[in-house]
Chain A
Amino acid sequence: MNQKVLLDEKELQVVLHRLSCQLLENHLDFSNSVLIGLQPRGVFLADRLHQLITSDYQVKNLQYGTLDITFFRDDFRRNENPLKANSTQIDFLVENRNVIFIDDVLYSGRSVQAALSAIQSFGRPKAVELMVLIDRRFSRHLPIQPSYTGRQVDAISEEHVRVAWKERDGEDCVYLVKNKI
């Protein structure tokens, strides 16, 4: 497989700390802000950030949930592979609160669009921000931009970004992989 490292373990750690600090800078004690990890892959990043913010930066009572967007996707019945639903766990309302969506890679923006629809089932947020680990520039299908970015990359459509997490893949690393044509 033809791949190159975008972020190694140490760089990923630095990025995670920076993203946590950026969130702290804007949301302070998170009293009116909630973290929402987007299923399936954004949840790993959200878990890490949640852990950093609550343990390293001592934020108490940080509300955190996971959101599955499967039933809100716009490619239902248009996809060769059937969509597989994941679990949503949000045991609070987002009415009038600041919501921070967390996902690993921002590509077309369609997942974020679905998430913006899906979150409305839990109330009307005051504001919604988007944090992504990797922003694939110049590949958007919709006018969606992240509020916080770990790393921007310029990748062609024959390439994809693979984010490996220790808890699932045995290592922390981000790769740019060239697909077989």
Chain B
Amino acid sequence: MTELSVDHLLGIKDLQKEDIELIFKTADQFKEVINRPIKKVPSLRDITIANVFFENSTRTKLSFELAEKRLSADVVNFSASSSSVSKGETLVDTINNILAMKVDMVVMRHPHPGACHLLAQKVDAKIVNAGDGAHEHPTQALLDTYSIREKLGKIKGKKVAIVGDILHSRVALSNIYALQKLGAEVTLCGPRTLIPQHAESLDVKVDLNFDRVIQNNDVLNMLRVQNERMNLDYFPSNRDYVFQYGLTQDRLNKSQNKPLIMHPGPINRGVEMSSEVADSNDAIILNQVENGVAVRMSVLYLLASKMNIV
């Protein structure tokens, strides 16, 4: 396969296994590029990309912007807080206004699930989903699985646990799709109240015993407790959460197993994992960030290659 089967990156659900493998192979080359003394290639020099963020983001936005600039694309940034959205403009109108300025691709984060799908139907540009509500965050899942592949050599047959606030996480759903397409076995772990009711329908295991999950898995992907999305009390207290699901060095020492530790960031240090664990050699959190740029370069490059000029 030399070309993606999709015209937009809206979610991992739409991708085939071969698409993911192509993205990884291309990302391997971009990882080499971003480690050169001069880290820029001219591939997207005639493409303009709008980063449209209707929700706050630090690393995803930075990572996309860096990926775009490393590919020599022209970049415009838009954030909802300083825009006409607050004056009541619709999503499609906002984007069409941006496209009228001759933008070729849109990277969008939006609080509503499916916003990117709507956009892909309504506007004439390549759309990359940078997170839509609690639905999908495809590039995060791609960089997570890419990082596992890099550290463990392969993903097929590996046991990966996603731990913590699954209910409010877009990272979780995209990761589940990506890991399953690549042949991993996925376990969800966290307070019962933060595991979605439909979890079993995704063909994943659910195990609420964190110590057993540490013992049985090759990878722990620790998710952030998203307090800002919680309108109810899903667990009694942070102290209680840490006691049951906080990843500490003591807890890891008790296990015979040494799993790879991942976190999509930002970390609530002392809640889902202790500082000692976050800064340990088993944690690949900063590798994930580095790989994020290479994977996003790969996605943008492969989507752009489907926009033939002639």
Contact = CB atoms under 8 A, between A and B. Distances in A.
A120 B41 CA distance: 10
B2 interface: yes
A121 B305 CA distance: 22
B37 A122 contact: yes
Contacts of B42: 71-72, 117
A68 B305 contact: no
B37 A123 contact: yes
Contact of B32 (A76, A78, A82, A88): A88
Nearest to B40: A121
Chain A interface extent, by class: 20 to 34
B33 interface: yes
Contacts of B301: 71
Given A81-B2, A82-B305, A76 B37 contact: no
B283 interface: no
A70 B29 contact: yes
A68 B41 CA distance: 12
A166 interface: no
Interface in A114-165: 117-118, 120-123
Contacts of B39: 121
A62 B306 CA distance: 41
A180 interface: no
A71 B43 contact: yes
A77 interface: yes
A82 B2 contact: yes
A68 B29 contact: yes
B308 A88 contact: no
Interface string B36-48: 1111111100100
B304 A85 contact: no
A28 interface: no
Nearest to B46: A77
Contacts of B32: 87-89
B100 interface: no
Contacts of A70: 29
Contacts of A84: 2
B28 interface: yes
Nearest to B41: A71
Contacts of A82: 2-3, 305-306
A76 B39 CA distance: 19
B310 interface: yes
Interface in B162-191: none
Nearest to A83: B305
Contacts of A117: 42
Interface in A60-96: 68, 70-72, 76-79, 81-89, 93
Contacts of B309: 77-78
B26 interface: yes
Contacts of B308: 77-79
A76 B40 CA distance: 16
A85 B24 CA distance: 12
A89 B32 CA distance: 8
Nearest to A93: B37
Contact of A85 (B29, B38, B40, B46): B29
B304 A77 contact: yes
B305 A71 contact: no
A74 to B, nearest CB: 9
A88 B29 contact: yes
Interface of A: 68, 70-72, 76-79, 81-89, 93, 117-118, 120-123
Given A117-B42, A123-B37, 16 more contacts: A76-B43, A77-B305, A77-B307, A77-B308, A77-B309, A82-B305, A82-B306, A83-B305, A88-B29, A88-B32, A89-B32, A93-B37, A118-B41, A121-B33, A121-B36, A122-B37
Interface of B: 2-3, 25-26, 28-29, 32-33, 36-43, 46, 71, 301, 304-310
30 contacts: A68-B29, A71-B29, A71-B33, A71-B41, A71-B43, A71-B71, A71-B301, A72-B43, A76-B43, A77-B304, A77-B307, A77-B309, A82-B2, A82-B306, A84-B2, A85-B29, A87-B28, A87-B29, A87-B32, A88-B29, A88-B32, A88-B33, A89-B32, A93-B37, A117-B42, A118-B41, A121-B36, A121-B38, A121-B39, A121-B41
